[in-house]
Structure 1
């Protein structure tokens, strides 16, 4: 028996070690092409339907999305906007002319038989702009006016206490209020001047001065898209805003300021010595960096003689305030701490004025600017309950700014 093995013969019809014929790949490609064509013919209809549905969904989302805008913006379809009321007024034949700056309101101003509706008044703190508004003809409807606007456009009306916004009865003989009946009003209760009509617990005041009718509203919630369909809100809004054939609806979206005469470039506004001062400051900073850029030693841990928990410190200080009845200092401490947290979240500088802080908070939260000012910069509370209420209002305001 030898050590060699003999390979078995290959079966008949089997090719071993022989390359494929050149036409094999072409046959495979030819057989795959009809398969792809069949799949395309089968699925092109559903794919076309899905593409059409996607386009329709995109167009519908773009067309039906709410139009953004601030509180009582005549074009905003969001809950705090007033597009629904503007549409009702126009259907009733009232010519509503939206304006977002004082210059636009001046251009759109009609004759004495018109009404100037002022919303978002916290953006109109400039004295020159208020004097321009006071010179416009026609009646006035002031919605939640701030102090400067109230003094200029509604002389003689004083802001009273803050009240809850809730359904109220007219409680007066004003035709616009009695026909509407109960409505969601409140906000600010005004002290009316002599001869004025006060309705809804002082939140709606109407009087005549210099031949024009002036109406002041402590809250404009009943005019918004969100609450227009409640109680008699729509009727009251129509009766107050639709009293004249033309309405100039002024609702600024940004703080307004009077323009100075002439224009100047940025280089012209910078004093000549600023560049040299900046260069000297840069050199000084570089020298200080080189001086301090030495190797520091290891950090030395030092035990504190007494460890006092922060909660105990806060409680002790609170007891001292309560013992001395120092509600003014306690309120000042609460407001200072709240402002230290609010100002950076609003993107304001540390030296921002109270008016700027109030305007930013009102814009972020949609709250009434005068109410925000009373919470952040108002008078100290008269009793402990008022101090607790102030702390609760400050906490609510901070949450609203954070969540906005």
Structure 2
């Protein structure tokens, strides 16, 4: 009768652990990939009203709330429109390149006051009668030199970007032919542009009159809507093409097929670990035989110097341990320590342990005898000192 072989329990356990490790590794890779793909959207960016970083603006939001201003943060266009439709409010608008000119006019038209905190030439041209960017001001405080209440109350402030005002646009904080703040009033509404990075961020708000300027510009109403643009806010038909729109339709199925093929190949060709097997060596060689073999090789080559170096290396190691020397002590230092312990001539001891070079086998035997005698002397000296103590 023949017995059917069954896998050992330990082998089955190892196989199950291997599959568990593979699944856990794939899950970890997927998690890390998801964090890289979506983590950027969760981070708070520059001029974000909830960011406590140096380039965030949470500090000015907290100060406004302490002054009685209700601050609403809208992270897409629909939320901003709903907040503005609830009543008169000041709208804060950073750079929003995804909005068309009409979309920008429509959103700003719902607010009582509009503050552009990171304006570009397009938004300045659309909302401020042809105004444009005009370079950068030095990193020093600039006098307001105008009658706009928010700027006049601040007195001096850091302004950053400069603007060239259009028709009927009032300007403040002049520097190098441009202005750090421009504003236009129309039918009880105001539209103001200022460089938020130089004035409103957590790191720049305490400088000079920046805080007073920020409160004067942003606190014009009891309600403030801080709009944070989203890529999905683009008008229909104006959104830029995505990667999937630019690639042929067969690319995605091909990538999926390649990934599945790689997974199947990994499972097919993966190593299956079984129980450990003890392998018996074909022969056991005694240490004395290997030593004699090396000695015969040295004899055949006629390299007496190399043979003596091996003897010296072993002797220096044993002598170093007897004298309590470090393992990395140099041969010269070892020779000096032996000469000092034995009260012998340093040159003679150094010749035995380091310098003497045998020319013949007879010289090699004599050098080996001197090396053996020196080691015996050190051993006797150490033993004698130990007995005396």
TM-score range for the pair, normalised by the shorter chain length: 0.3 to 0.5
User: Is the radius of gyration larger for structure 1 or structure 2?
Assistant: 2
- Length-normalised TM-score, structure 2: 0.47
